[in-house]
Structure 1
């Protein structure tokens, strides 16, 4: 009897212990069946948008200002001009540089020699002496050169079409000038109307100076023309 009661008590204790024990929670099963989540592919980084550079416009070469000396022959130069229409149209022109920005030009037409002296400034040239029948070398002291007074303005820079200097008008600045020496395409042509109705035209080329001159009288069938054109340079 006592043994049976002991057994019953043990069973009761074991039952109470089983009822009091906590039931462990069931493990959560991941939705993807326990597989590790797939890594989402990284989106490629956006490359910075590089706008094409606009091509740089080439710089225009700087245009150097004209040098007043470039409208005269070089120092010590002797130029020969072919003459047409008159026995005195043939010319020999000799250029000599003097002191303090002065230039002497000896012009021999076969009958006489004319001396012309020019004074050069930064952007102009003035005729300061003119002597016909001059057959010597002009070598004045510096003080005499400085004392010469301008007679007329020879040219002013920059030279542009329409300029008028002492009755001389710049008619064109890119005109053709045909000479025995060369055919020039960029000559500067000036005109001057004389009191007797004659027209005097002069053609200049930068780097050489005067390359051609024309004396024109009358029109049409009555036209009389005398021309002196550059033929050679020594």
Structure 2
């Protein structure tokens, strides 16, 4: 089982144990991603500003976790410059800093550091010198778009949380070595849920993190 956990959320387990990398929650309703042929969201037709897929500047979002002690976390968001955003994810074991570059058609992860207990002041020159580690989110937001092993399986999912009911949620899915990983994105919020499922035995093993509060 541990190998699946390391595949899906390495920062929750590897970094929580003290490793530094360079680079999930409670819902009121169980939701199922739409079928691969469904694509009724207006996001598929809009010229979407990808900066809208992050929390507001200086916001602190709280995520309720189920299935693992490190699935509960808080996420602090800092808008550094027009095209750069940093997040600080505190799961009680460590704080992970992630820095993203926003481009017209994608959001790239350009830095990921564990043990980031202080918020850093990055210069624009420093950020521009960072190379892409991986694509975090990519348009067009239509079913079938894929990158880094992830595929958009829905752009019109409804997700009910303790914070609010979200419409037109984008669902990304990755299938790897018998496990299913999903990420849920909502406009004006960004990532609002993570889900990891392993089908084994009579009941599946599930780890989730779902947004429950933003301040």
The reply to whether TM is greater than 0.5 is: yes
| 8 Å CA contact 2:170, 2:186 repeated in 1 | yes
Equivalent residue number for residue 162 of structure 1:
144
1:227 aligned partner? 208
- Quote how far apart the aligned CAs of 1:220 are: 6.5
2:193 alignment partner, one of 173, 198, 212? 212
Match among 153, 157, 174 for residue 192 of structure 1: 174
Report runs of 4+ in structure 1 exceeding 6 Å deviation.
none
Q: Which runs of 5+ in 2 are unaligned?
A: 1-44
**Gapped regions of structure 1 (runs ≥ 5):** 1-62
- Pick from 63, 68, 79 the counterpart of residue 86 of structure 1: 68
Higher strand share: 2
The whole-number CA distance in structure 2 between the counterparts of 1:185 and 1:220 is 34
- Displacement of 1:100 in angstroms is 5.0
Pairwise mapping of residues 66-145 of structure 1 onto structure 2 (< 5 A)?
66-145=48-127
Q: What TM-score, normalized to structure 2? A: 0.75
Q: State the alpha-carbon separation in 2 of the partners of residues 205 and 141 from structure 1.
A: 29
Cα RMSD (Å):
1.5
Query: Is the CA contact (8 Å cut-off) linking 2:84 and 2:100 kept in structure 1?
Result: yes
CA distance in 2, matches of 1:163, 1:64: 16
Give the count of matched residue pairs: 171
Kept after mapping to 2: 8 A contact 1:100/1:142: no
CA contact under 8 A between 2:51 and 2:83: conserved in structure 1?
no
Distance in 1 (alpha carbons) for counterparts of 2:151 and 2:201: 23
Relative contact order, CA 8 A, sep 6+: which one is greater?
2
